[in-house]
């Protein structure tokens, strides 16, 4: 990761098609667009590549989550269970439809702990939302069983795991709906963009309309469309879709490089006493965007991360990160918004300040994640291997 490292003539060609026609919008202007329908082509390419029946592109991964929740009928009074280790967009989307985020602990996989999920289910629970963090999958069999037994929706946030699989099925295509982000630092990028995937035609039809002001797209032109319900403008542009169309054709190449580079660094530190790698529920399906491991204590982890940063090796210590772990989400815990929030929902958010996540704190405070780049040369890998080994060995 990320796909922008391999931005080249293929992307330029697809974008040039759009600029030559002058039609930047994905809908309408049939004659002027000279046969170019980049958004439609990308949706079809995703369906074919991931073996999923329906894909709806959106303007971002956050918009994809919001769209999927709306299409599933999730809203005020409903609860969605999600991990306390995720990107802020996960809970932002929940709040955007008026639902309540219910955070639970992660386990050694850095994804949802199924036991914590079961303990958090209430009469208001409508969906479980695993987040396939840092390119690797949640325990999908366990979560699917819970959803079937409790008649809950399973919504996959696969925004960080494009191309990853679980027991032969692509992440994002296993639940009732799944989402991707195609922002600038994802495995494949559109610059900005997202997608909802589903095998349910009704969910797809609702997503299709919801992302375009409720248009049913059944009229002879946009002015003839009907509107069964209110929607919003979450459309992707043809320019963004054009970039993604070129990128998805490179996905297998990206995954092969990531897996090779990750395996090299993992092997380099595997024999060091005190190192514990994150649990991967299906190693063959890991998209390998990150190498994540645990050190014996938080104190050691902080020292190692200091050495890595001083040596210029990119690394994430999520315990102190403001974007990805609940510990520093003060704006969420205070219910801070620029608009009035439902009083009941705001009170529930403020109660987060009283909630303990000891299991997750123990894991995240000891973990370090190394992003895996596509553009690393053989010499780059050798240098990074030495930096990583020396930083760890200096503290163990």
Closest CA to 198 of 170, 223, 239: 170
In SS3 terms, 304-316 reads as HHHHHHHCCCCCE
Q: Is the dihedral of CA 216, 219, 221, 223 positive or negative?
A: negative
Residue with token string 């890595």: 308
How many whole angstroms separate alpha carbon 285 and alpha carbon 164? 5
Please, are residues 3 and 189 in contact by the beta-carbon 8 Å criterion? Answer: yes
User: Active site residue: 38, 126, 186, 250, which one?
Assistant: 186
* Neighbouring-strand partners of residue 131: 157
Tell me which long-range contacts 353-361 makes (C-beta under 8 A, separation of at least 24).
Answer: 355/103, 357/84, 357/103, 357/105, 357/326, 357/327, 359/105, 359/106, 359/107, 359/113, 359/116, 360/83, 360/84, 360/85, 360/105, 360/106, 360/325, 360/326, 361/319, 361/327
Cβ pair 288, 188 in contact under 8 A:
no
What gap in Å lies between CA 109 and CA 107, rounded to an integer? 5
Q: Which residues pair with 200 in a beta bridge?
A: none
Strands 165-166 and 79-83 come out as unpaired
Cβ atoms of 199 and 175 closer than 8 Å? no
Per the document, the length of the chain is: 396
- Give SS3 for 107: coil
Is residue 250 annotated as part of the catalytic site, yes or no? Answer: no
Q: In whole angstroms, what is the distance from residue 219 CA to residue 128 CA?
A: 36
> E-strand spans in 191-262?
194-198
Active site residues: 186
């Amino acid at each position: 990761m990320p796909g922008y490292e391999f931005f080249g003539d293929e992307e330029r060609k697809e974008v040039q098609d759009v600029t030559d026609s002058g039609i930047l919008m994905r809908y309408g202007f049939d004659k002027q667009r000279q046969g170019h329908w980049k958004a439609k082509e990308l949706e079809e390419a995703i369906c074919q590549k991931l073996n999923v029946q329906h894909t709806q592109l959106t303007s971002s991964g956050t918009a994809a989550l919001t769209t999927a929740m709306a299409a599933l009928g999730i809203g005020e009074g409903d609860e969605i269970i999600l991990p306390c280790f995720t990107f802020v967009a996960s809970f932002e989307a929940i709040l955007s439809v008026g639902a309540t985020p219910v955070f639970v602990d992660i386990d050694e996989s850095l994804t949802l702990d199924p036991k914590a999920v079961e303990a958090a289910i209430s009469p208001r629970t409508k969906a479980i939302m695993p987040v396939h963090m840092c390119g690797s999958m949640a325990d999908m069999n366990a979560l699917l069983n819970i959803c079937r037994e409790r008649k809950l929706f399973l919504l996959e946030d696969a925004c960080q795991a494009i191309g990853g699989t679980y027991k032969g099925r692509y992440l994002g295509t296993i639940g009732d709906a799944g989402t991707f982000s195609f922002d600038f630092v994802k495995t494949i990028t559109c610059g900005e963009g997202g997608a909802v995937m589903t095998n349910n035609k009704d969910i797809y039809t609702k997503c299709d309309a919801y992302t375009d002001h409720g248009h049913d797209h059944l009229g002879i032109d946009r002015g003839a469309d009907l509107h069964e319900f209110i929607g919003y403008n979450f459309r992707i542009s043809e320019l963004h879709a054009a970039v993604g169309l070129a990128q998805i054709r490179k996905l297998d190449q990206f995954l092969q490089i990531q897996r090779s580079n990750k395996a090299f660094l993992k092997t380099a530190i595997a024999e060091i006493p005190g190192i514990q790698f994150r649990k991967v529920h299906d190693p063959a399906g890991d998209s390998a965007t990150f190498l994540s491991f645990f050190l014996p204590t938080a104190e050691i982890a902080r020292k190692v991360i200091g050495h890595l940063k001083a040596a210029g090796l990119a690394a994430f210590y999520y315990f102190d990160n403001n974007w990805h772990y609940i510990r520093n989400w003060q704006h969420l815990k205070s219910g801070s918004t620029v608009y009035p929030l439902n009083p009941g929902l705001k009170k529930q958010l403020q109660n987060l300040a009283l909630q303990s996540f000891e299991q997750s704190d123990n894991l995240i405070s000891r973990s370090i994640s190394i992003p895996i780049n596509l553009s690393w040369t053989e010499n780059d890998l050798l240098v990074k291997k030495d930096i990583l080994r020396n930083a760890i060995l200096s503290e163990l």
